[in-house]
Amino acid sequence: MASGDNDDVGFKHRHESLMNCSSSQMNTNPLSDKVDAMAMSSISMYNKPSNASDPFFGSGWDPIVSLSQSESLVGSSMVSHSEFADTQYSLLMENQGISGTSHFSQYQSDPSFVELVPKLPGFGSANLSEMVGPLSLPQCSQMANSRRPPIYALIHEGGSERASTNSTQSRDEHQISEEGLVGASPNGKSRKRVPESNSPLGSYQNADEEPQKDASGESGDVPKEQDGKKQKTEQNTDANSRGKQKQAKSGEAPKENYIHVRARRGQATNSHSLAERVRREKISQRMRLLQELVPGCDKITGKAVMLDEIINYVQSLQQQVEFLSMKLATVNPELNIDLERILSKDILHSGGGSANVIGLVPGINSSHPLSTGNFPGTISGIPSTYPQFPPLPQTVLDNELENLFQMGFDSSSAMDSLGPNAGRLKSEL
């Protein structure tokens, strides 16, 4: 799942890895990359005001907003908007450099945004304009409308439980109730979330949700909604699924940049503990990511043990680097430019061959004194063989290398089975 993020560290890359991560957890919903990117970028855009006042961001959004407000957003303008927005999104994404993981955690805490996504077509542009504000959600929402289930599942914590709830028909109510929850910011709950969604959501919910006020028993969706509030947590208990639904304050439109956090039933509503919970959520998310990075940590449950594993792994990696640099210090022959080019090409293109080398390292260790003694004598010899290598295709060289490694370095008898080039090399060693 996170195997794809081994190489590039860029924002986009991590973006994709996160998308893969969450999509793999879902049912087999085929997601178009563009839609996902749009959704995720729109989420990041959505979160941006809550993080920092970014003048570029503000200026970038204005044309989109004016566009959206001037036209009816019911789909005819979808294509043009989406294309326009797409470039804007990519531009803004480039320029903002939001870290992937924080972005990930943020969109987990943004289900109200998710609610917005499918909701738009049912409402006039007036609602949209008041809803959108500085964010040009309509484009992505329009696009997302055509793919409502996957986007919702993707954005909404990317958990499988989300996907399963998506499949229910009463998706609308479920989303509406979520919106209702968002809009209704109850008394003791800390409000730390982005604004605009509240007022129109309140209106939606008033229109459709009246019967579902406190009777959370009716549809199975409603309790499920309340489950995945803004935070995906493993601490969900069943009791929490019958959460409160305070729709009393549906009409509020707080224009603050807070993250809305909802307390579940039976949990403290103190703002401190809510903040604590958010913090713990973030930490557990990151621990999960780390779990994927560190090999052999799938079965480990418990953060303390996990941290120990991580520490051991980092230490072992650092020791490996030291060991390898020591080896390089001793084993190094003189480099000329051709070798360097070949080396870099080889290293960069044969990513799969590295696994074979691991067993070789101890082997090199034992033959080390031998090689250092031989090298001065063979330095002249080696370059003479290299002119033959460039005409070889890279794959052949790699295969020979791998064969060498697999058969063990010291057994010269194995070399007979290899091609003449490798044999000649070996004889010089």
Partner 1 sequence: MNPQHLNASSLKSRFTRRFLRALTKINAQKPISSSSPREIFQRYGRIKAAADKSMANSVRSRRTWSRAMLWKLRSRSYRQASSGRRSAVKTSTTTSHQAIRKKTNHEKENKPTKTGEDQVGFVVQADELRELVPGGEAMDLCNLLDETAHYIKCLTTQVQVMKKIVDFYSL
Window 175-234: residues binding partner 1 (CB under 8 A): none
According to the binding rule CB under 8 A, does residue 322 interact with partner 1? yes
Q: Say if CB 226 and CB 236 are below 8 A apart.
A: no
According to the binding rule CB under 8 A, does residue 381 interact with partner 1? no
Q: How far is the CB of 320 from partner 1 (least distance, A)?
A: 5
Smaller CB distance to partner 1: residue 125 or 399?
Answer: 399
According to the binding rule CB under 8 A, does residue 380 interact with partner 1? no
Strand partners, 260: 191
Q: Select the residue interacting with partner 1 from 326, 366, 410, 427 (CB under 8 A).
A: 326
Binding-site size, partner 1 (CB under 8 A): 80
Please return the burial class of 17, using the count of CB atoms within 10 Å of its CB with bins 0-12, 13-18 and 19+: buried
Q: Select the residue interacting with partner 1 from 76, 168, 301, 354 (CB under 8 A).
A: 354
- Closest-CA residue to 36 (of 23, 24, 46): 23
Q: Select the residue interacting with partner 1 from 25, 206, 273, 394 (CB under 8 A).
A: 273
Element (H, E) at 192: strand 191-193
According to the binding rule CB under 8 A, does residue 321 interact with partner 1? yes
Q: Select the residue interacting with partner 1 from 207, 361, 392, 396 (CB under 8 A).
A: 361
Smaller CB distance to partner 1: residue 30 or 376?
Answer: 376
Q: How far is the CB of 300 from partner 1 (least distance, A)?
A: 13
Q: Which residue has the tokens 């052949």?
A: 396
Q: How far is the CB of 329 from partner 1 (least distance, A)?
A: 4
According to the binding rule CB under 8 A, does residue 99 interact with partner 1? yes
Smaller CB distance to partner 1: residue 213 or 341?
Answer: 341
According to the binding rule CB under 8 A, does residue 332 interact with partner 1? yes
Please return the burial class of 102, using the count of CB atoms within 10 Å of its CB with bins 0-12, 13-18 and 19+: middle
- Beta carbons within 8 Å of 12's beta carbon, 6+ residues apart: 93
Q: Which residue type does 12 have? A: K
Q: Select the residue interacting with partner 1 from 53, 55, 87, 97 (CB under 8 A).
A: 97
- Beta carbons within 8 Å of 11's beta carbon, 6+ residues apart: 93, 94, 97, 98, 99, 100
Tokens representing 124 are 């006039």
Interactions with partner 1, residue window 290-309 (CB under 8 A): 290, 293-294, 303-304, 307-308
Q: How far is the CB of 72 from partner 1 (least distance, A)?
A: 42
Smaller CB distance to partner 1: residue 318 or 384?
Answer: 318
According to the binding rule CB under 8 A, does residue 59 interact with partner 1? no
Strand partners, 258: 193
Span near partner 1 by CB under 8 A; candidates 40-48, 151-159, 184-192, 331-339: 331-339
Interactions with partner 1, residue window 122-141 (CB under 8 A): none
Smaller CB distance to partner 1: residue 249 or 286?
Answer: 286
Q: Select the residue interacting with partner 1 from 347, 377, 388, 408 (CB under 8 A).
A: 347
According to the binding rule CB under 8 A, does residue 72 interact with partner 1? no
According to the binding rule CB under 8 A, does residue 335 interact with partner 1? yes
Q: Which residue type does 305 have? A: V
Helices assigned H by DSSP within 52-170:
55-70, 78-96, 100-108, 111-119, 125-132, 137-146, 148-155, 160-166
Q: What is the biggest distance separating any 2 CA atoms in the chain, rounded to whole angstroms? A: 89
Smaller CB distance to partner 1: residue 2 or 74?
Answer: 2
Smaller CB distance to partner 1: residue 7 or 214?
Answer: 7
Smaller CB distance to partner 1: residue 27 or 267?
Answer: 267
Q: How far is the CB of 287 from partner 1 (least distance, A)?
A: 7
Q: Say if CB 373 and CB 429 are below 8 A apart.
A: no
According to the binding rule CB under 8 A, does residue 396 interact with partner 1? no
According to the binding rule CB under 8 A, does residue 376 interact with partner 1? yes
According to the binding rule CB under 8 A, does residue 315 interact with partner 1? yes
According to the binding rule CB under 8 A, does residue 313 interact with partner 1? yes
- Closest-CA residue to 404 (of 374, 370, 360): 360
Q: Say if CB 60 and CB 41 are below 8 A apart.
A: no
CB atoms within 10 A of CB 343: 11
Q: Select the residue interacting with partner 1 from 401, 407, 414, 418 (CB under 8 A).
A: 401
DSSP-assigned states of every residue in 91-113:
HHHHHH---HHHHHHHHHT-HHH
Q: How far is the CB of 279 from partner 1 (least distance, A)?
A: 7
- Closest-CA residue to 86 (of 129, 41, 45): 41
Q: Which residue type does 263 have? A: A
